[in-house]
């Protein structure tokens, strides 16, 4: 029995799949690309909110779901959470924690957009710019985009969990 055959047989018996051996390098590239995409998206989205929290507070008020007492606090804290999570995901420092918060934010964004679409409330999302994302079509597009980013985030989180078990 050749050495290569014995090593392959050992890997298969111990749960290693041939596809995971072949795609290990590609998975690393996909992971890095998704981390860069999600991280830079949240960094970019946080910038205008950090620069003008008063306009972001007005947008949060427009959602008509937040208690008035918390709108200013949310308008100040939320952009910095987005920024720190984006940086953490790109740099790899506490990347699982940053990704967990990013996924939680995406779920909340999906909920808020869906809730306002269902009740027919026109609003500005405040995602990347202040004041130019109103209308049903725009909201539906935002919802689709957030679901795609959540899918990427869930994929990354599962990937991080697999790496921790190995």
- Say whether pLDDT at 98 is over 90: yes
pLDDT of residue 85: 97
- pTM here is 0.78
| pLDDT greater than 90 at residue 166 | no
Query: How big is the chain by its Cα radius of gyration, in Å?
Result: 20
Q: What tens digit of pLDDT does each residue of 14-48 get?
A: 444 444 444 566 778 999 999 999 999 999 999 99
24 in Cβ contact with 64 (< 8 Å) = no
Where does the chain have alpha helices with state H? Answer: 3-13, 18-22, 24-51, 53-63, 71-91, 95-118, 136-165
**In this structure, what is the dihedral angle of CA atoms 84, 43, 104, 134, given to the nearest 10 degrees?**
140
């Amino acid at each position: 029995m050749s050495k290569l055959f014995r090593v392959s047989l050992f890997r298969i018996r111990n749960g290693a799949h041939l596809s995971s051996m072949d795609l290990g390098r590609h998975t690393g590239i996909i992971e890095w690309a998704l981390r860069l995409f999600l991280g830079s998206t949240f960094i970019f989205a946080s910038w205008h909110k950090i620069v003008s929290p008063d306009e972001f507070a007005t947008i949060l008020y427009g959602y008509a779901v937040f208690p008035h007492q918390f709108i200013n606090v949310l308008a100040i804290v939320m952009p910095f959470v987005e920024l720190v999570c984006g940086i953490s995901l790109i740099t790899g420092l506490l990347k699982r924690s940053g990704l967990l918060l990013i996924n939680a934010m995406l779920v909340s964004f999906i909920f808020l957009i869906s809730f306002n679409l269902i009740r027919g409330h026109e609003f500005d999302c405040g995602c990347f710019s202040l004041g130019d994302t109103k209308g049903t079509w725009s909201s539906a597009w935002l919802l689709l985009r957030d679901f795609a980013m959540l899918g990427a985030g869930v994929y990354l989180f599962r990937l991080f969990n697999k790496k921790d078990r190995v």
